[in-house]
Amino acid sequence: MIREGMIVARKSYQCDILFQVYKIDEQLQTAELIGEEVRLFADAPLSDLVLMSESEKDKLRHAIKEKVDRSFRLFRQDYKLLKQKREYVTSSGYKQTDRYFEMPGKVLHVDGDNRYLEKCLTLYKKVNVPVVGVHMPEVDMPKRVPKLIEQVRPDVLVITGHDAYLKSKGEKKDLHAYRHSKHFVRTVKEVRAKSHHLDQLVIFAGACQSHFESLIKAGANFASSPARVNIHALDPVYIVSKICFTSFMDRVHVSDVLRNTLSNEGGLGGVETRGLLRTGMPIQSGSGINNFSKEENEDGAK
């Protein structure tokens, strides 16, 4: 028996993704599914679902973990290179020995899935990005997110959660054929009505299979999904973290951002965007200001 909360896979897709059963319709004999690692909300007949053995689940999870670890290593490499460049410029070619502090961009991460939000907040903390995290249903985002912007005053807004293209609802170009793309698009438009400039507030929007073109036209700097494919739960974090740790004097090229993600250009895209990090000096002994990003992250995460 397939029951709510169980971990399953779809036989028609060669059991390539692990899902948690969110809701079962006994009358229609269908189930609503939430991806365990990808931001996909799907429907499937109960007859198409199969319970995965522990060994099968471990195999799929291990493959995903290897991709996550690779993305993290790439991000750390980029971070070290960016830091070396900043040290060289700030110290006038290492001629000055004064220590300096850094102020990376602050993120407001709004997520339709609380489990994914917790995973993202853990990664933000790991890479020292200041963040405020809020769990919110996708349908509520257009109305509530603009008010949050006024309260938090972030440099970066992430609006994500679950999405899916529903072939039975229309063609891929039809925004209403998507589960939550219309809510993401409306949210971006509402926010851009007050923050017009792409470098004034950086926006990432979308989830699995989202209507990429509409999100970019609405005013997002980065969005999913150009090829209407699934994206990993952590992909938004890697994109905005790269921007947060790039100097405001430099621009972030889309190809440089995508190389750190798990989905690459099929799942993610965007436009050239200015970095957000600023450096300052001097650091007074005992001030703790050199731990600026760490303190902001610990105080702001919810």
Q: What is the pLDDT of residue 266?
A: 86
Tell me what pLDDT residue 92 has: 57
Looking at the fold, whether 27 and 167 belong to one and the same domain comes out as no
124 & 16 share domain: no
Backbone angles phi, psi at 258, to 5 degrees: -70, -25
- Place 297 in a pLDDT band, splitting at 50, 70 and 90: very low
Same structural domain, 44 and 130: no
* Two structure tokens written together for 116: 């994914």
- The residue among 224 and 68 whose pLDDT is bigger is 224
Does residue 117 belong to any structural domain of this protein? yes
Backbone phi, psi, residue 291, to 5°: -105, 30
The reply to whether 224 and 152 lie within a common domain is yes
Are 237 and 276 members of one domain?
yes
Same domain, 82 and 224: yes
In a domain, 48, yes or no: yes
Least confident interval from 89-98, 200-209, 284-293: 284-293
pLDDT category at 97 given cuts 50, 70, 90 is: low
DSSP SS3 for 5: coil
Q: Is residue 220 part of a domain?
A: yes
Whether 182 and 269 map to the same domain: the answer is yes
**Percentage of the chain with pLDDT > 90?**
61
pLDDT at 64: 83
Average pLDDT over residues 107-125: 94
Examine residue 66 and state whether it is found in any structural domain, yes or no: no
Query: Are both 24 and 88 inside the same structural domain?
Result: no
Is the bond preceding 142 in cis, omega lying within 30 degrees of 0? Answer: no
Q: What is the pTM of this model?
A: 0.82
95, 223: one domain? yes
Mean pLDDT, the chain, whole residue set = 87
Residue 221's nearest CA partner among 240, 248, 193 is: 240
Q: Which of 63-67, 170-174, 208-212, 280-284 has the lowest mean pLDDT?
A: 280-284
Same domain, 184 and 243: yes
Helix (H, G, I), strand (E, B) or coil at 136: coil
Structural domain includes residue 47: yes
How many domains is the chain built from? 2
Asked if residue 169 and residue 126 are part of one domain, the reply reads yes
Output the pLDDT for position 8: 95
The sign of the dihedral angle between the CA atoms of 85, 89, 94, 99 is negative
In the predicted structure, residue 71 carries a pLDDT above the cut 60: yes
Q: Which residues contact 142 (CB under 8 A, 6 or more apart)?
A: 183, 186, 187, 190
Amino acid at 125: K
Task: Tell me which residue of 154, 195, 116, 158 sits closest to 297, measured CA to CA.
Answer: 154
Ramachandran class of 175: left when φ > 0, alpha when ψ lies in -120 to 50, beta otherwise: alpha
Q: Is residue 32 part of a domain?
A: yes
Do 206 and 108 fall into the same domain?
yes
Give residue 39's domain range. 7-52
CB 96 within 8 A of CB 278: no
CATH of the domain at 218: 3.40.50.280
Tell me what pLDDT residue 88 has.
Answer: 63
Q: Quick check: is 94 in a domain?
A: yes
Could you give the residue ranges of the DSSP H alpha helices within the chain? 54-90, 114-126, 141-152, 181-192, 212-218, 235-244, 254-258, 264-267, 292-300
Across 154-159, average pLDDT = 98
Question: Which secondary-structure segment (H or E) carries 23?
Answer: strand 19-25
Whether 280 contacts 103, CB under 8 Å:
yes
Residue 65 lies in a domain: no
Q: Which amino acid is at 160?
A: T
